[in-house]
């Protein structure tokens, strides 16, 4: 439906790996929602803010999961494409994990330095 035109197998693997990585990050946002909220707001948060963020994280996850399933149905991976796609996805997930950890560390550092908590 909304699939981007892909000219070769490498681009297709990259696209699926990217969507998989986005799905994993959206899942993390649902599981670790308190940490994910810290990207935008500082605790303590009113209940309505928490509810809005939880809905937002849920919609992000459902959207990325739906997009991943759609992409895999439109462009199924053959046996020889699974391992290279998984390798690309692992690299992307590692980079996103490191970047997320760095940002959360910077937030903690700033809060400790300024005495905000």
- The model's pLDDT over 24-50, given as tens digits with 9 standing for 90+, comes to 999 999 999 999 999 999 888 999 999
Q: pTM for the full model?
A: 0.87
**Helix intervals (H) in the chain:** 9-31, 33-37, 47-74, 79-114
Is the four-CA dihedral 94, 90, 13, 5 of positive or negative sign?
negative
pLDDT at residue number 2: 60
pLDDT band at 6; cut points 50, 70, 90: low
Cβ neighbours, 10 Å, residue 100: 17
Which pair of structure tokens corresponds to residue 72? 């895999």
pLDDT at residue number 38: 92
């Amino acid at each position: 439906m909304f699939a981007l035109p892909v000219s070769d197998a490498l681009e297709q693997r990259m696209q699926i790996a990217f969507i998989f990585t986005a799905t994993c990050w959206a899942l993390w946002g649902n599981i670790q929602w308190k940490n994910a909220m810290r990207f935008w707001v500082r605790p303590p948060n009113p209940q309505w803010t928490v509810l809005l963020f939880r809905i937002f994280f849920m919609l992000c996850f459902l959207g990325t999961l739906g997009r991943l399933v759609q992409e895999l149905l439109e462009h199924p991976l053959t046996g020889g494409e699974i391992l290279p796609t998984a390798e690309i996805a692992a690299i992307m997930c590692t980079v996103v994990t490191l970047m997320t950890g760095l940002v959360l560390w910077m937030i903690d550092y700033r809060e400790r330095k300024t005495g905000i908590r």
